[in-house]
Structures are given as structure tokens and as C-alpha cells.
Amino acid sequence: MPNYKTADHWARKAKEQGYAARSVFKLDEIHARFPVVPRGGAGICVDLGCYPGSWSKWLIERGMRVVGVDLKAPDLSGGTWIVASALEVTAEQLMEAAGGPIDLLVSDMAPNTTGNKFIDHVRQIELATRALDLARTVLTPGGAFVAKVFDGGDAPAFVRTVQTSFTEFKRLKPEATRDSSIEFFVAGRGIKRS
């Protein structure tokens, strides 16, 4: 029996199914364990850090209209792409591109890693915090959120902030995550308005 946790398995499976990256299976498992896509798939999603497009493609296949943000647009039809840094894109730009209420904001963003775990962690938490800040502004009441987090000293405080921002919350480490990875994901449903 093959070892389904190996990178080769997930990468090969992604390629076989027409996805650009193995990360699609992380979102698939997150949704299976803690559904974030609205029932019936109808709705609008913002995908921060959308390149190369696996998460966006998965969301589009489930009926969502996707607005993706990244420094490079994915080679994928069916979405609206904003070529910009997620640290610089505004809530107004997202809402204008969406043309309607945003039901879900997802972020699989990671910085270009340096090999210095502390610096990489701090930079990734900055991206995750930006995703949460945008979610708090653009999500429709009841909206959902998924974000990657690099574990480290600032992670517990960020996790608590996400947990208190939603009526339902889950911390997950999907099977498709490499064993050696320090990443995990947070997911929330039912955004709270302050």
C-alpha cells in the first residue's frame, strides 16, 4: 500500500486531476472536515495568494465565483484576477471586483522563505493577519474564512483572534501537509461584526 503522506503522492494526484499544486487537497480536506463553501456552491470567494490556481480552480468547480489576488495571475479561466500584493490590495478593490457580497475568504499565502524559521514565521503571520483584516471588512454576515499559519511564537495569539472573530472555529493540519511542515490552517464560519 502506498504512503499517502508523501509529497510525490499528493503532487502526482494533483497533476492527474488537473490541478497545478498539491495544496488543493488541503482545501478539500478542510472543507470536508469543516465546510466553508456555501451549500450549493453559490457565492463569491476571495482567494488571497491564488497563484498557481489550485484553490481557485477547486472553488470554481464547486460553483463559486472567485476573485483571486496574487503577484501573478493563474493560467485559469472562470475567475477575476487582481495582480497585486495581498498586503496592498484594498477591501474596496475586492468588493468592486466581486460585484456582490463576499461569502468566503481563503488564504494559502506564504512568504518567499529565507530558511530562518523566525523571520519566515513573522512574515507569514503578517500575511495571515492581513487576510483576517480583509475578511473582517469584506465578508458578508455569516461569511467564512480559511488561512494558512506558520507555527511559532506569534501563532497562538493569531489563532485566538481568529477564534474570537467567528461563531465557529477549527484548527486543522490536513493530511496533504508535509510531515516536516510547520504550517497548519485556521477556519472560521459566521464572521462576527464588532
Residue 194 banded pLDDT, cuts 50, 70, 90: low
Active-site entry in 5, 117, 148, 173: 148
Measure the CA–CA gap between 108 and 48, rounded to whole angstroms.
7
Measure the CA–CA gap between 29 and 131, rounded to whole angstroms.
20
pLDDT of 1 reads 34
Domain 7-191 homologous superfamily, CATH: Vaccinia Virus protein VP39 (3.40.50.150)
pLDDT of 38 reads 87
The total number of residues written for the chain in this structure: 194
- Give this prediction's pTM: 0.90
Measure the CA–CA gap between 95 and 52, rounded to whole angstroms.
22
Rounded mean pLDDT of the chain? 89
What confidence tens digit (pLDDT) does each residue in 107-136 have? 999 888 888 889 999 999 999 999 999 999
In the predicted model, is pLDDT for residue 15 greater than 80? no
Instruction: Give the domain ranges of the chain.
Output: 7-191
Clarify whether 72 is annotated catalytic.
Answer: no
